[in-house]
């Protein structure tokens, strides 16, 4: 399990762990919409199984975004006078916008790893 998490965070193919899923080397520091490879350059594993395959990854992305928003609220709340101050909302929005590029990449990688055929 820990090896899968390591390979997932390194943007590696779920089948051979050699090729890259995204054209970008690092999933953490890139800005903009991700550019995915259609197949692994090493083992030719097809990443998008069918049209609309990554539709479910949007739900994973939504869950990550909600979790980051809640975590940001609880981390920032001690710095404000009231329990729920409206000044917290822009802070949460900045964090969510800063993390959105990472969330797209991570949710797609997680989706590919969740539905990989592990019998082979």
* Segment 44-87, tens digit of pLDDT: 888 888 888 889 999 999 999 999 999 999 999 988 887 777 88
* Segment 4-47, tens digit of pLDDT: 788 888 888 888 888 888 887 776 667 777 788 888 888 888 88
Residue 87, phi then psi, degrees to nearest 5: -70, -15
Q: What pTM was computed for the model?
A: 0.81
| Closest C-alpha to 109, from 29, 25, 5, 30 | 5
8 vs 108 pLDDT, higher one: 108
């Amino acid at each position: 399990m820990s090896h899968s998490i390591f390979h997932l965070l390194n943007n590696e193919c779920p089948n051979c762990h050699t090729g890259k899923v995204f054209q970008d080397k690092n999933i953490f520091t890139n800005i903009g919409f991700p550019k995915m490879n259609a197949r692994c350059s090493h083992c030719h594993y097809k990443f998008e199984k069918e049209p609309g395959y990554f539709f479910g990854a949007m739900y994973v992305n939504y869950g990550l975004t909600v979790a980051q928003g809640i975590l940001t609220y609880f981390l920032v709340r001690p710095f404000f006078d009231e329990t729920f101050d409206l000044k917290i909302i822009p802070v949460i929005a900045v964090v969510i916008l800063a993390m959105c590029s990472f969330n797209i990449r991570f949710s797609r990688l997680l989706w590919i790893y969740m539905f990989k055929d592990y019998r082979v």
